[in-house]
Structure 1
Amino acid sequence: MEVGGIQALRAWRERRSGSVSLVPTMGALHSGHQALMDRARAAGDSVVTSIFVNPLQFGTDEDFFQYPRPFEADLEVCEAAGVDFVFAPALGEMYPGAPEVTVSSGRMGAVYEGAARPGHFDGVLTVVAKLFTLTAPDSAVFGLKDIQQFCLVKRMITDLNFDIELIGLPVVRDEDGLAMSSRNEYLAPADRSAALAIPRALDAAAQAAEDGAPIGVEAAAEAVLSVAAGRGDLDLGYLGLVDAATFQPCSLDFDGQALLLVSASVGGTHLIDNVPLEFHRSS
């Protein structure tokens, strides 16, 4: 396994033949990331994992400097997953100066997580576009926990004509049902217990969707989250049922693929999750 910045990556890329699959990360790797790398291994002859904490996607009051950076442990995860190249550029390599030209996430990036974190998705798409340009992958693997991010990257690939196959890996969960996240390590035991209201709400919504209208699905999830919030354990950020293609709210007579999105703050830690749902109107 090789590790390096932009020049080392370019040299490695020139020597490498066959298809390349990219797994973009900000480090603090866990088994969910390893699942992404395993999927990338199935998709390409070589796997590149990037480790870069991107400042453009952090707000002024967010945790850029506190974000965990266990680099040596991350390299061990990559080694175990059979990664061929770890792209770990310095901040000055990726941004020699404050960028004047960035990628806009548009209307889809201004709602839900984008509304809660203004400018976040512009920063995400800017760094992903740079990673695509630098690594020149044939495919890229993203986790579907960050479903709005995935949908925006998919749209960017279409709109900017990147010749890249985008692969989404379903949400990887711990045994208690909580979606795996690097931020989970911030949770105290009591906070983690409170955070379990999130997957329970999604489970309630999925059950309601089997024979319910969209409004009933949201109500089922809201009921579960309200119980936790009533104890003061959880601060609900947003809950929305949206068209998977447009991120517009689902109408009462919606037909097709939908996503139930949720964000909440637990013990000061921002968590997100989602569940895909299918609605079919009776003919």
Structure 2
Amino acid sequence: MVDIFDRERDVAAVEVIEHSLTGGANLPTRGHLASDDALGVIDCCPSVRISGISHPIFMKVRRMPDADSTKSERHSDATAPEDTFSIDRYNLPKDFPTHRHDAIFWEELGRAVGTFGFLEETLTQAIFALTTTREYDDTEIEAALEKWPGVLEKAVTDALGAQIATFDRAVRDHTSTASETHEELVSKLRDAAELRNAVCHGSWRLPDDEGRSIPFYIDRKRRRFDTPVDVDFLRQTRQEIIHLVADVIDTVTRLGWQFPGSAGPGKVVWEKSNSRER
């Protein structure tokens, strides 16, 4: 088989590992990505097949000669096709290319994507709280203040994977030593980041008879996502992300601080200035 880079690959050389979700299981993510030779078996077919549907999406278009060319010039290329084709975009199936999945699938996918976004915002607020309340030696304060705006900017603008690294570092700097619970949380967050990339950026292929679909997604390590995803998978994913959100919030509140943006218990992290009211 020849991949998109015209290199011959042995399809059998790529091992695909699949994981099925079971009720109450932790978020399983690493096993959804196949080996780093995944580029060798990319299916270059369109992600949505059109055979067997009643709506034709291609229409024949007669190739018009260049008005400025002479008759002899128009027929000088014997290999030039007489006809070309383009998409009849006004005759596409309703909701193309998402028309083959049930509406509940897209609802659950959207809710999962939204929950991942909420996790990112929660990490940003946790980083703010932890870096604000960390104690510094007198000799460290000035340098820390100079770096702090950049740390907060990165917390807002970084992708989830980089956010997790900043959060991990903020916890370690705040508490000196990281507990086993924190190590486990960071590991789960990193797993969630891998799954988030596939869920949010994958191109969803046709569902099978059981409503399961495999998104077309390859990560930077050249691994492809190859686990069938259905409504139950998305629902469990969302529930697991909610637990991670709660764990991140607990990281701050268990230190005795009120989580930013909430009205919960604890000491307020940042008192708002009333200078504008004076």
- Give the TM-score category using the shorter length: under 0.3
Q: TM-score, normalised by structure 2?
A: 0.22
Q: Greater Rg, structure 1 or structure 2? A: 2
Higher strand share: 1
Q: TM-score, normalised by structure 1?
A: 0.22
Q: Which has the higher contact order (CA 8 A, sep 6+)?
A: 2
